[in-house]
Amino acid sequence: ADAEIGLIGLGVMGSNLALNIAEKGNRIAVFNRTASKTHEFHQDAGPLRDRIVPCDTIEALAAAIRPPRPVIIMVQAGAAVDEQIAHLRGVLSANDIMIDAGNANFRDTMRRFGELEGSGLTFIGMGVSGGEEGARHGPSIMVGGAEASWKRVEKVLTAIAAKYEGEPCAAWLGPDGAGHFVKTIHNGIEYADMQMIAEIYGILRDGLGMAPKEIGQVFARWNEGRLDSYLIEITARVLEADDPETGKPMVDMILDRAGQKGTGKWSVIEAQQLGVPATTIEAAVAARVLSSLKDERVAAQAVYGGGVAPFPGGRDEVLADLELALFAGKVAAYAQGFAVMAEASRAFGWNLPLPTIAKIWRAGCIIRSQFLGTLAKAFSGGPVANLLMTPAFVQMMQEANPALRRIVARSAEAGLPVPALSSALGYFDSYRLGRGTSNLIQAQRDFFGAHGFERIDSSGAHHGPWGSGAA
């Protein structure tokens, strides 16, 4: 029993995570449902073979690990995780730690914590971001559970995590579901980032008539400036690639129908449950759903015409505006995501460290960027109502919002869909409007439902002079 840690599930993520753990000098015991995969994995591990203990049963896995035994579960989210937990419960003993590292819904994680209460076993819900490459060479790791469990695995997890200027992108964020919740919001923000990039691509392609490689160069240039991030970098690379089969730009050969596994949707559902507006993330999730209605869209184009008017303005001026507009949209999306986490922290008593979350997203994960460093600094001054109210971001939004406004207005006139960018603008404009229009909503509600309203000049509930017209 000399392995530092165990791992169940040698799929894409699990096998790469296991190699990463072994590479950092740890012995790791591994198990996979299909045993042949376990042995193939061991055979193919090259110089890391000696540090990997292949196990054919969960009993053998448990016996191979140094107590208290941490076991990472990296299988399909959902029922498969419950099956593994049920099995592990029979073979683990007090203080051993089961770590669900898949993309669990944090509500499942909360339930699992509840079910394990009093069993002596401990649990960690751990969000891992960075895809295959991240798992192999350094993911961003978001941990939820008891702090004592984190202490047992901290050394291994910080060793395998991505580093940003030497600081590991792994942290304990709070009890029970905190880690998986933060991962969910990470993915919601990722959806928003990707959708806004795709909308800008649409303007460049259909509004300005630019070719993929030209557009790729624009993104590559932007990656040197304030938009510097992994998603902008890979967008440039994607746009510059050719299809080996036809020689045409790869991106032109890909069907415009986006998939999703659910984490974006969960982030919207949780934002709604918490009563926090996350309109840009919502727009991004809805855009993927709309994209999947390919046949309907083709039919609608035949009815309405898919014509796009040329985008007005000189190219240099428009390009400068697009860069700033994308930045402003990004600020709004992150403001929303962090507001959802702040509210969840209150609602679930997690005490989520927002600056730490921004810091562990600076490297390893899909939304990694310089921008998150600025965001971490903005939040380190103490609690704030919204990212949009921190001095650094006030200045940035003052500079960037006029460009977002011009781009959204011109896109609307040209017939180019920009649902996420326009929702970002709508969020910003609603947020900065001291006197909104809900006075009218309150009047309507009082009219038809006698809900009452507050007056601007006296306290208490009041009713309007609607008389018997109200039903």
Catalytic residues: 183, 190
Q: Contact region for ligand NDP (CB under 6 A) — 75-83, 217-225, 328-336, 420-428?
A: 75-83
Cα torsion at 167, 47, 97, 153 (round to 10°)?
Answer: -20
Q: Tell me which of 77, 208, 234, 290 binds ligand NDP, using CB under 6 A.
A: 77
Dist CA 200 CA 311 (whole Å): 12
Dist CA 8 CA 80 (whole Å): 11
Q: Is 272 in the site for ligand NDP (CB under 6 A)?
A: no
Structure tokens given for 103: 């993309």
Instruction: Rank residues 83 and 252 by Cβ distance to ligand NDP and give the closer one.
Output: 83
- The CB-of-82 to ligand NDP minimum distance in angstroms stands at 9
Q: Is 63 in the site for ligand NDP (CB under 6 A)?
A: no
Q: Looking up tokens 């180019």, which residue turns up?
A: 416
Burial bucket for residue 457 (CB in 10 Å: 0-12, 13-18, 19+): exposed
Contact call for residues 360 and 170 (beta carbons, < 8 A): yes
Q: Tell me which of 72, 74, 173, 331 binds ligand NDP, using CB under 6 A.
A: 74
* Cα–Cα–Cα angle for 343, 346, 350, rounded to 5 degrees: 110
Q: Tell me which of 43, 44, 59, 76 binds ligand NDP, using CB under 6 A.
A: 76
Q: Among residues 115, 65, 162, 212, which one has the least CA distance to residue 372?
A: 162
- The CB-of-104 to ligand NDP minimum distance in angstroms stands at 7
Q: Is 80 in the site for ligand NDP (CB under 6 A)?
A: yes
Instruction: Rank residues 9 and 70 by Cβ distance to ligand NDP and give the closer one.
Output: 9
Instruction: Rank residues 78 and 202 by Cβ distance to ligand NDP and give the closer one.
Output: 78
Q: Is 37 in the site for ligand NDP (CB under 6 A)?
A: yes
Q: What is the residue-wise DSSP string for 426-466?
A: HHHHHHT-SS-SHHHHHHHHHHHH---B--SSS-S-B--S-
Instruction: Rank residues 190 and 282 by Cβ distance to ligand NDP and give the closer one.
Output: 190
Q: Tell me which of 1, 12, 241, 389 binds ligand NDP, using CB under 6 A.
A: 12
- The CB-of-189 to ligand NDP minimum distance in angstroms stands at 15
Q: Is 34 in the site for ligand NDP (CB under 6 A)?
A: yes
Q: Is 14 in the site for ligand NDP (CB under 6 A)?
A: yes
Q: Give every CB contact of residue 32 below 8 A, 6+ residues apart in sequence.
A: 8, 9, 10, 14, 38, 41
Within residues 103-122, the interface with ligand NDP by CB under 6 A covers 103
- The CB-of-103 to ligand NDP minimum distance in angstroms stands at 3
Contact call for residues 268 and 285 (beta carbons, < 8 A): yes
Residue nearest to ligand NDP (CB): 11
Q: Tell me which of 83, 117, 429, 454 binds ligand NDP, using CB under 6 A.
A: 83
- The CB-of-12 to ligand NDP minimum distance in angstroms stands at 4
Tell which phi-psi region holds residue 25, choosing left (phi > 0), alpha (psi between -120 and 50) or beta: left
Q: In 54-130, where does DSSP find H-type helix?
A: 58-63, 79-91, 106-116
Instruction: Rank residues 9 and 174 by Cβ distance to ligand NDP and give the closer one.
Output: 9
Query: Pairing between strand 70-73 and 52-54?
Result: unpaired
Structure tokens given for 65: 């690990």
- Site map (CB under 6 A) of ligand NDP, residues 120-159, x = contact: --------xx-xx---------------------------
Contacts to ligand NDP by CB under 6 A: 9-14, 32-34, 37, 74-77, 80, 83, 102-103, 128-129, 131-132
